[in-house]
Amino acid sequence: MSSQSYFALVDSVDVLGENGGLTAIRLDAIPTESLPILAGINSFVERLGEARPVMIDIKPVETNRAVEFFETAIDGLESQWFNLSLSTRGLAGTLFTDPAAIDGQNVRLSGVRRPNAQEYRWLSRLGSLDPEELPDASMEQLEDLLFAKRQRRAKHRMVGAYPVGQGNLNAILDGISPRLYFDLGGGAGRNASTYPTHFRICHTGEVPVLLSHWDTDHWITARKDPRCLEHHWIVPRQNTGRNLVGPTHLKLAADLHRRGHLHIWPSGLPYLSTAYGEIHLCRGKSKNDSGLAMRAYLGNGVFVLLPGDADYGVIPSPLLQDLSGIVVSHHGALVKSPPPRAAPPVGVIPYAAFSFGTGNSYGHPNPTTRAALSSVGFGSGYDTPNGGIRFPSIGKKSPGCGGRACDLLAPQP
């Protein structure tokens, strides 16, 4: 590699297993020598255009060792900046220069330190969707995107959850083609091998994308298929001290902004009722818990919850009512709060969709999570590795092309 040291933002922290003995950490980093150069570029688009971020997945390590290495408690590690060096000793990880790549470089990390005051000031330009540079979307913009004039009646709608490996990609369809995507994710980093070969989404009409939160496995399809950048994206800002958006994510935001396709959900807008259902801003503080969640309406009293990775306890209660279906939060990981209870209309059988990649490094889905969904009426659920999953269970199993032009097939159940 050209650089031997990096400024790294802790992008995600996943405590593994029910006893929390291991922790998986992802870093979003830039070469140390590039920081003063990037900080001196005033234009957001030009700054991120020059940036060459890398993603470093630290291999699951004993939680106590991670605490010792970073000298920070695990629950306070996410969104912290560090400077660290590549070495022949230290924590083992894999460095990816391309977030969509399957193979990376094996590295070891050592020499960790906190940035100094000047470095922190510079890093502030590479860790947030700054409202001074990127203002909120207007209500007119959101309404134009989410109240499509060409929509069909709700009774023709379905929700699909698709097999993209260890990630999430959902769509609301009208029986012929998508009208709204909820996440365009998939397997990335250490789980990139779970992403299917040559997966194709439908670009008919270049319909909007609603991003639940800034996790790579919820948007990586946009790097595998550049046509995704031609869609308009509605994204959460997620800009607090405990919740920063790192340079790999900001580079995607800059690519969208350059095209006029980035629309940031106003932080003062708690919810919006749209043509496709209700969208709410979640009430938590972490990246997973402070994004957007949706309850899609399919007609005839059928609602499906699309939570992204949010804990059910931070999702506003109106979204948790009268559910016939649920795309299980965080790929079936253990979350703190119990899932909502199924409450479908008479004659509708409720069920859950688990979106994950076979053999993923997190061990998702957790058996305890599957049992919890069953105990509140959603059964054992269906798994995306076995194919796309549709809600409701009746109706079309494929988009209008029949699967010839895209892979939005939904044979389950």
CATH code for the domain of 381: 3.60.15
Position 379 pLDDT exceeds 60: yes
Per the structure, the complete domain to which residue 18 belongs is given by: 5-126
**Higher-pLDDT residue of 400, 312:** 312
Helix, strand, coil: what percent of the chain each, to 5?
A: 25, 30, 45
Domain presence at residue 29: yes
**Same structural domain, 220 and 278:** yes
Position 1 pLDDT exceeds 60: no
Q: Which of 171-175, 198-202, 261-265, 277-281 has the lowest mean pLDDT?
A: 171-175
Domain presence at residue 91: yes
Q: What percent of the chain has pLDDT over 90?
A: 82
Domain presence at residue 403: no
Domain presence at residue 349: yes
Query: What is the tens place of the pLDDT at every residue in 63-98?
Result: 999 999 999 998 899 999 999 999 999 999 999 999
Six token digits for residue 3? 């650089």
**Same structural domain, 147 and 98:** no
Q: 112 with 83: CB under 8 angstroms?
A: yes
pLDDT at 192: 95
Q: What percent of the chain has pLDDT over 70?
A: 95
> Closest by alpha carbon to 338, among 307, 375, 302, 365?
375
Q: Please give the tally of structural domains in the chain.
A: 2
Cis amide linkage into residue 163, ω under 30° from 0: no
What is the torsional sign of CA 215, 216, 220, 223?
Answer: positive
**Same structural domain, 102 and 250:** no
Query: What is the tens place of the pLDDT at every residue in 303-336?
Result: 999 999 999 999 999 999 999 999 999 999 999 9
pLDDT at 18: 67
Residue 243 carries which DSSP code? B
Q: Which of 148-152, 196-200, 338-342 has the lowest mean pLDDT?
A: 148-152
Which amino acid would we find at residue 393? Answer: S
Mean of per-residue pLDDT scores for the chain = 93
Position 151 pLDDT exceeds 60: no
Q: How confident is the model at residue 365 (pLDDT cuts 50, 70, 90)?
A: very high
pLDDT at 402: 75
Query: What is the tens place of the pLDDT at every residue in 92-147?
Result: 999 999 999 999 999 999 999 999 999 999 999 898 899 999 999 999 999 999 98
Q: How confident is the model at residue 399 (pLDDT cuts 50, 70, 90)?
A: confident
293 strand-pairing partners: 280
**Same structural domain, 241 and 291:** yes
Q: What is the mean pLDDT of residues 344-353?
A: 96
pLDDT at 121: 93
**Same structural domain, 112 and 218:** no
End-to-end CA distance of the chain: 47
**Same structural domain, 234 and 181:** yes
**Same structural domain, 217 and 357:** yes
Strands 382-383 and 351-354: parallel
**Same structural domain, 301 and 228:** yes
Which amino acid would we find at residue 42? Answer: N
Domain presence at residue 133: no
pLDDT at 396: 65
Q: Domain ends where: 100, 126, 152?
A: 126
**Same structural domain, 261 and 224:** yes
Domain presence at residue 410: no
Give the whole-angstrom CA distance, residue 344 versus residue 322. Answer: 6
Angle, CA of 147, 150 and 154, to the nearest 5°: 75
Domain presence at residue 365: yes
**Same structural domain, 219 and 309:** yes
Q: 291 with 212: CB under 8 angstroms?
A: yes
Give the whole-angstrom CA distance, residue 53 versus residue 55. Answer: 7
Q: Domain ends where: 91, 126, 161?
A: 126
**Same structural domain, 152 and 117:** no
What's this model's pTM, rounded to 2 decimal places?
0.95
Domain presence at residue 65: yes
Which amino acid would we find at residue 365? Answer: P
**Same structural domain, 32 and 178:** no
pLDDT at 401: 80
- DSSP letter string, 298-363: -STT-EEEE-TT--GGGS-GGGGSSEEEEE-GGGG---SSPPPPB-PPTTPPPEEEE---TT-TT-
